[in-house]
């Protein structure tokens, strides 16, 4: 995508000095560095910049950066607009973000020179990293996620909302969001594992809290495939624990294939919903792959519910065999 040519046709060392005229309205390709993201506000920012409405351009590019916090090109555009809008602190932070995200860009040397010009406009030197209040908010997000607190006013997602509402843009926002997502996924997988493991438990409260966490996350942006799968998995297990068997069948059905733990949960839900024929078909297929007595024991119960006692006994004999007894 086309970048912004934000430097005037004067020497670089004079570009932001007092008394210089604003740069001419122009949009040129900046092939040396990353381009701008595909976002409607890019055109708004470009138009404002070309009309020499630099403060409006700053606002537009900040909005783009909030939606694309790891896009290097938007920080270069923001930095240059902020320089001409008389906002040196915003410019310095944006230049630093650009160099952090694109240290090997073809225009890195040019951007470093622009950064030095912007730093000369500061009344006091600006420390590296985000402001103290932003750093504190980032720490709260990570601490709550680490404590498995995701939903509610005291959850990591609410803390993330507070962070996003601050007048700050930077790649740290993307890192915080990614950290919450990664922790949510890891804890969900652990919870599914606890539900499946004979020696562990996944309480109703833990399942409900994790399902609420995913629901809160979905309100803040579309989930990717893996996120949607994990959200449905933990919601299905919560429904199963709450006795909502028909709902659990429907929720687990699309996400259970490929995961023996969720397939077994789906079979339990089918059995509890008295859909015994479907449960038997699923358990029979699982028994071919899983040497686990629980599968055979549930298969026996499902067959007994259909009045097929002899077949139920066959399944229970398998369940009572020592692991690996049928091999060889």
Report the CATH number at residue 16: 1.25.40.10
**For all residues of the chain together, what is the average pLDDT?**
87
Torsion of CA 237, 240, 245, 246, to 10 degrees: -20
Q: Is the pLDDT of residue 10 over 90?
A: no
With a cut of 50, say whether residue 27 has pLDDT above it.
Answer: no
Give which of 100, 90, 99 is closest to 126, Cα–Cα: 90
DSSP symbols for 136-160: HHHHHHHHHHHTT--SSTTSHHHHH
* 197 Cβ contact list (under 8 Å, min separation 6): none
Where do we find the tokens 């659990």?
A: 248
pLDDT computed for residue 220 by the predictor: 84
Query: What pLDDT, on the 0 to 100 scale, is given for residue 8?
Result: 37
Q: What is the mean pLDDT of residues 178-202?
A: 90
Is 286 part of any domain? yes
The confidence score (pLDDT) of residue 327 equals: 52
Domain boundary pick from 120, 150, 184: 120
What is the rounded CA–CA span in Å between residue 192 and residue 224? 19
End position of a domain, from candidates 120, 147, 168 = 120
- Confidence at residue 1, expressed as pLDDT on a 0 to 100 scale: 38
Is 217 domain-assigned?
no
Chain segment 236-272, per-residue pLDDT in tens: 999 999 999 999 999 999 999 999 999 999 999 999 9
Residue 201: band (very low, low, confident or very high) from pLDDT cuts 50, 70, 90: confident
Query: What mean pLDDT comes out for the span 183-188?
Result: 94
Q: What is the DSSP string of 258-272?
A: T-HHHHHHHHHHHHH
The b-or-e profile of 34-50 (16+ CB within 10 A means b, else e) is bbbbebebbebbbebbb
Helices of type H across 121-253: 132-146, 156-164, 171-196, 204-218, 225-241, 245-252
Q: Which residues contact 192 (CB under 8 A, 6 or more apart)?
A: 202, 233, 234, 237, 259, 261, 262
Is 56 part of any domain? yes
Residue 169 gets which letter from DSSP?
-
- Which residue did the predictor score with more confidence, 258 or 11? 258
Percent of the chain scoring above 70 in pLDDT: 88
Q: What is the predicted pLDDT for the residue at 90?
A: 96
- Per-residue pLDDT band for 323 (boundaries 50, 70, 90) equals low
Count structural domains, the chain. 2
Report the percent of the chain where pLDDT is more than 90. Answer: 77
Residue 328 located in a structural domain: yes
Please state the rounded mean pLDDT for residues 51-66: 95
pLDDT tens, residue by residue, 113-133: 999 999 999 999 999 999 999
Cα–Cα distances in Å, from 154 out to 141, 162, 166, 167? 10, 11, 18, 21
Residue 178 in any domain: the answer is no
Q: What's residue 324's pLDDT?
A: 59
Cβ burial of 274 (10 Å; 0-12, 13-18, 19+) is exposed
For residue 21, pLDDT beyond 70: no
Quote the pLDDT of residue 198: 82
Decide if 229 is inside a domain: no
Q: Please give the Cα distance from 295 to 66 (Å, whole number).
A: 49
Asked whether the beta carbons of 251 and 232 are under 8 A apart, the reply is yes
Final residue of a structural domain among 95, 120, 145: 120
Q: Is the pLDDT of residue 228 over 70?
A: yes
CA distance 246 to 302: 16
Residue 5: pLDDT above 70?
no
* Structural domain containing residue 284: 268-328
pLDDT given for residue 12 in this prediction? 29
Instruction: Give the whole-angstrom CA distance, residue 317 versus residue 221.
Output: 50
CA 34 to chain centroid, in Å, comes to: 23
pTM for this model (two decimals): 0.75
pLDDT exceeds cutoff 50 at 297: yes
């Amino acid at each position: 995508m086309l970048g912004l040519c934000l430097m005037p046709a004067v020497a670089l060392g004079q570009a932001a000095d007092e008394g210089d005229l604003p740069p001419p309205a122009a949009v040129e390709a900046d092939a040396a560095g990353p381009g701008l993201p595909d976002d409607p506000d890019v055109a708004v920012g470009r138009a404002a910049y070309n009309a020499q409405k630099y403060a409006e351009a700053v606002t537009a590019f900040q909005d783009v950066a909030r939606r694309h916090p790891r896009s290097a090109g938007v920080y270069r555009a923001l930095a240059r607009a902020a320089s001409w809008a008389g906002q040196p602190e915003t410019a310095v932070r944006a230049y630093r973000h650009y160099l952090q995200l694109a240290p090997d860009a073809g225009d890195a040397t040019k951007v470093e020179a622009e950064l030095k010009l912007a730093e000369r406009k500061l009344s006091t030197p600006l420390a590296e990293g985000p402001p103290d209040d932003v750093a504190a908010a980032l720490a709260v997000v990570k601490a709550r996620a680490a404590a498995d607190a995701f939903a509610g006013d005291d959850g990591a997602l609410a803390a993330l909302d507070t962070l996003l509402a601050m007048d700050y843009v930077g790649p740290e926002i993307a890192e915080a969001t990614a950290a919450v997502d990664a922790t949510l996924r890891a804890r969900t997988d652990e919870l599914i594992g606890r539900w499946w493991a004979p020696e562990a438990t996944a309480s109703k409260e833990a399942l409900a809290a994790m399902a609420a966490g995913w629901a809160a996350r979905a309100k803040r942006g579309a989930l990717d495939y893996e996120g949607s799968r994990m959200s449905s998995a933990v919601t299905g297990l919560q429904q199963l624990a709450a006795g909502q068997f028909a709902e659990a069948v429907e929720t687990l059905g699309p996400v259970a294939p490929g995961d023996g733990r969720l397939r077994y949960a789906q079979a339990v839900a089918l059995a509890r919903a008295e859909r015994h024929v479907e449960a038997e078909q699923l358990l029979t297929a699982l028994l071919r792959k899983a040497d686990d007595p629980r599968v055979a024991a549930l298969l026996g119960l499902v067959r007994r519910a259909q009045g097929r006692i002899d077949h139920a006994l066959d399944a229970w004999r398998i369940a009572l065999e020592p692991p690996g007894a049928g091999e060889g």
